[in-house]
Amino acid sequence: MTNESNTKPESNNPQRQKKKYSRRPYKRYYNQNKDNLKKCSFKKVSILVPLFNEEESLNPLITEIRNALKKIDIGYEIMLVDDGSTDKSLEIIKEMARTDNKIKFISFRKNYGKSAALQLGFKHVSGDAVITMDADLQDDPAEIPNLLAKLDEGYDLVSGWKKIRHDPFIKKHSSKFFNYMTRLMSGIKIHDFNCGLKGYRKEVVRSVDIYGELHRYVPVLAGWQGFKITEIVVKHHPRKYGKTKFGISRFFKGFVDLLTVIFTTRYISRPMHLFGFMGAIAFFVGFVISAYLSYEWWINGTPLYNRPLLALGGLLIVVGVQFFAVGLLGEFMVHNSHDDSEYSIKEQK
């Protein structure tokens, strides 16, 4: 009896049971942490950052981008495009790229502008989703998961909306006016066209062609190609380092570029709709003025040699005919240079 009582099974030993159970909490915690990662349909995201003289912002920016991407179950690359910086930005970028193979860079010999930096970056990124942001730390990298989530809802382009801005007074209010005019003239209903924080599907960045100062109008260019566009409210921070590159001349350049975008996207394949319409209005107004003066001269005997309105009526008729002729010539050119490659195809079997 004594021997049987001393030979109990190991499974009844409280000490052994405790050791077996002690491994489970660690394993359970590990699986829970993995499940907390946000899922998305994209296999890889490219973070594209154009920059000019941002040496103080680069290290904290990359740190914040890495922290934001840790929350998403996705592969990534960070593409930095140095737009001819004259400070130590390029040296810092090279050092970061040397220690992290996910960081890539392109460096211009001189400053070509943000549009050139984005255009070249779009050609070299490899992700099936692309996030663009400025390097001055005013755009918040923590918004990256939100942009990807919105793209996952079926949108092709998601633009950030800096609803609460931390910018100088002139820049803030001129931007509001600029956005209002762009929304009115383009028909694209978003609030902040010039926000650097945007998300794109790969098809969009492969389709748009930006140059000059047209980076402000990427949503317009994409929208008129039939891509689905929306916006989300994003955080905007005060500038920590350096100074803003905004100047009053950019406002006037932006307005001229808006006219360029409207013509090259909406009327490039149907110039008669623009020039013919303008010509018809000018001709009609000139004809009405001339008819009225003719009535005054013929019926009432009013002399016309001292009537400036006569010159205006004749000028409007001539201008109307010229506009109409320009539109007709444009239609001939479009007809002869028509190519099926200009169409944006969504799917094909």
- The pLDDT of residue 7: 46
d(Cα 104, Cα 77) in Å, to the nearest integer? 7
d(Cα 195, Cα 171) in Å, to the nearest integer? 13
Model confidence, pTM: 0.70
d(Cα 188, Cα 221) in Å, to the nearest integer? 10
- The pLDDT of residue 143: 95
Segment 218-263, tens digit of pLDDT: 998 898 888 999 999 999 888 877 666 555 556 666 677 777 777 7
Segment among 198-207, 239-248, 328-337 with least mean pLDDT:
239-248
- The pLDDT of residue 135: 92
Quick one: average pLDDT of 38-58? 91
Backbone angles phi, psi at 224, to 5 degrees: -80, -5
Q: Does residue 144 carry a pLDDT above 50?
A: yes
Number of helices followed by number of strands (H, E) in the chain: 13, 7
Q: Give me the sign of the Cα torsion angle 131, 236, 251, 193.
A: positive
Helix (H) or strand (E) holding 32: helix 24-35
Segment among 19-23, 152-156, 290-294 with least mean pLDDT:
19-23
Q: Check if the beta carbon of residue 279 is closer than 8 Å to that of residue 306.
A: no
Within its chain, how far is the Cα of 102 from the centroid?
23
- The pLDDT of residue 232: 95
**Residue 303 — pLDDT band, cuts 50, 70, 90?**
confident
